[in-house]
Every structure is written in structure tokens, then in C-alpha cells.
Structure 1
């Protein structure tokens, strides 16, 4: 590619990255709304969450098409190619996180207007959701700053979310003698699973950050050991 074309290419690439990371801000707003809707059993807010997912889907299509156009027309190489490839994965992670927020919202009406809330489970759900939100925010910062150490810290935070997920399931089994309570607790285990998947996708964004920085892809999620430092 002629050297004169590079500034325009870099501008396009920066614009796509900003658009993708703006999609993460949309996800953060959706997570905030799911937490409120779960705590308040707010069916109207849940319906809004489902409808508002169109914005995240639109952002996915916009960035995905833009990245494919760059690949086809600009033929990026070296570090730029890594960023382009990473953005394809990151925007998919963002779309999936939005879908998990929709999954949570669709579960809320199933609990009824006055569900038999078990505080032990609800508080863990809210803690888990906030932890997932923190992971998403951290993954965005790590990607923006190309900070591999922040990216790797997502793995540590995700272990706490996984632990909460297991605790919620164990409590659901323990408290499930009454039929109404059992129905509510089983629904909450699905909410917990959705927050757990949001955390997993945030870790995936961290892995893409490490890929851009090092040129090597590796998973952070080996439960037998901590990820190696760069």
C-alpha cells in the first residue's frame, strides 16, 4: 500500500476501535439495568432491556462490516492486522454480552410479581452481576491501554464470579423444598449463569488484548494455574 494511504487507514482503524469500545459502554448500561430489574422485579425495565439490545446488535453489524472492509481493501499487516483480527472477536464478545443481558431480562417475568425471594441467593446474584460489570469495564480499559497486566487480572476476578455461581447453585438445591421457592431459585441459577457468561466474555476481551501486545494467543482460563506474566 502507498505510504500516503496509511494515515487514512489508521484513522479508519481508530474509528472502528472507538466504535467497538463504545459498544462496551452500551453493555455496561444494560448490565446496570439488569441489576435493577432483578432486585426490583421490574418487568417493564426488563422489557426495555430486551428492546434496547437492537443498539448493541446494530453496533456489532457496523463494526463487523467495517473490519471486513478494511481487510478486503487495505490489506493490513503486522501489528495493524492483529488489531483488526482482535476487533472481530471483541465485537462478537460484546454482542454476546448483550445477548446475556437479554437472557436475564427474559427470565425476570417468569418469577412472578411477588416471588418468594431468598435473600441469601439474591445478594449473591447482585454481587455477581456487579462483579461481571466490573470485569467488562476493566476489559475495556485493558484493551484501550493495551495493558496486558490489567487483562490478566480479569482471570483472577473471573474466578470470584465462578465461585459465586457455584454457591448460588448449592443454595438453590438446599432451599428448593417448597415448589414456589424451587421455581424461583432455579430461575436465579439461570440468571447467575448469564452473569457468569458475561464475565467469560470479558476475559476473552482480555485475551485479545494480550494477543495484540504479544502477537501470541493464549487462554487465561486454565484453572490449574495462574496465567504467565508477559
Structure 2
């Protein structure tokens, strides 16, 4: 195979990874919309679309394996294929988190904790993921480091929100002797805490993608651990 044809394969792999990333970001946005609007049909569209992401992941994983086996890339090309392989895994898992959030949205028909703005946290986490995909596309190492720094803000927001949820639970439980009401409240609190946990994980996957990109470009492992 000529170098030109080989390079085309590498370019096509990058484009396909970016396209998959864009699809995952889109699904996260839709899941957050379903959560905000309490729309079970919109939520179901995300759940139904998970198979598409999984199939795309498997197809691209196979492409990476073919490049490893048939082309035996070395040096920079090897790091690129290996980084792309790892990034695909993070994107597939972020797609699973979008599905989780959509499933939570289908249960979001009860009163939420008013002081917890899940939509704001979700927007920040999704934006991080979108930026990490673009950093991979452009091999932008400064953006990779900026994304890692921004993850601290998402972590703090999720921690504060979880503490607010816990305080609200204690206050409401103290104000009622109705066991059924407490059980419903616990259901509400449970899905809200799970949503916060998954949004924090979206941010973590964004950092993983940034870390792999940084290592790809500069062989710098500072964000890998």
C-alpha cells in the first residue's frame, strides 16, 4: 500500500472518530433536554439510539485492529491509532451515560430539588466533551490542558449539588411522618444523584480524551494518571 493511501486511511479514521464524538454529544444534549422538559418520548429516542453508537464503536474498533495488524504502524502513526482506539472507548461509554440520563428523565415526574441546576452542570460537562473531540481533531495540546483544568469546576459543581440534595432530603424527611412520601422522595433523590454522578463521569471521559490527545502529540503522560 502506498504512503498516500495509508495516510488516507489514518485521516478517515480521525474523521470517523470525530463524527462518532459529535453523535455522542448530540445524544447527550437530547438527553439533557428530555431531563429538563420531562419528555419521555425524547428520552426514549436517546435510549433507542444507543445501538447505533455501539455498532459504530465496533466498526471503528475493527478498523483500528486492521490498521494494527495489516499496516503495523510505528512511531507517530502507532500512537495515533492507539490513541484513537482508546478515545473510541471513552466515547462509547459517554454514549452509555447519555442513555442513563435519558432513562432517568423518564422517571423525572416528581418534584426536583429546586436549588440543583442539573442543566447547567450537564451543559458544562457536555461542552467539555465537545471541546475534547475538537482538540483531538486539531491536535491542540493547550486545549487539552485547559479541559483537564476545567474538570475541577465540574467536580465541584457535582459535589455541591450532591450536598444540596442530601440536605434537602434530611430537611424534608424531618418535616413528614408519611412513609410513602418519604419513599417517593428517596426515588427522586436517587435518580438525581445518579444523574449528577453520570455528568461527572462525562467530564472524566472528556479529560481521558484530552489526555490521550496530549500523549499522541507530545508523548506527555501528565494527564493520563
In the superposition, the TM-score normalised over structure 1's length comes to 0.89
The superposition leaves residues 74-126 of structure 1 with CA deviations (integer Å, 9 ceiling, x where unpaired) of: 01111011000001100001000000011111122233x3x1122211x2x11
Distance (Å, rounded) in 1 between the aligned partners of 2:24 and 2:136: 15
* DSSP-derived class of the 1:118 partner: coil
Secondary structure of residue in 2 paired with 1:162: helix
SS at 1:119 equivalent: coil
In structure 1, C-alpha distance between the alignment counterparts of 2:147 and 2:220, rounded to whole Å: 18
Q: CA deviation at 1:220?
A: 5.8
- Please tell me whether residue 140 in structure 1 is matched to residue 136 in structure 2: no
Q: For the residues of structure 2 that align with 1:71 and 1:209, how far apart are their CA atoms?
A: 18
In 1, Cα distance between equivalents of 2:20 and 2:130: 11
* Contact residue 172 and residue 182 of structure 1 kept, 8 A: no
Alignment of 1:51-130 (within 5 A): 51-111=48-108, 113=109, 115-121=110-116, 123=117, 125-130=118-123
SS in 1 for 2:111: coil
Kindly tell me the number of residue pairs found equivalent between the two proteins.
214
In structure 2, relative to structure 1, the CA distance for the partners of 1:220 and 1:154 (3 Å cut) is farther
Q: Does 1:191 align with 2:184?
A: no
- Can you give the 5+ residue segments of structure 1 that lack an aligned partner in the other structure? 222-230
RMSD of aligned Cα (Å)? 1.4
Match of 2:44 among 31, 43, 47: 47
Distance in 2 (CA, whole Å) between partners of 1:87 and 1:42 is 35
Q: Does 1:161 align with 2:145?
A: no
1:156-200 CA distances to partner (integer Å, 9 max, x unpaired)?
211111011111111111111342334312211100111111110
**Paired residue secondary structure (2:223):** coil
Secondary structure of the corresponding residue to residue 107 of structure 2: helix
**Structure 1 stretches of at least 4 aligned residues deviating more than 4 Å after TM superposition:** none
Q: What is the TM-score normalised by the length of structure 2?
A: 0.91
Partners of 2:159 and 2:129 in 1: CA distance:
21
Distance 1:42 1:195 in 2: 19
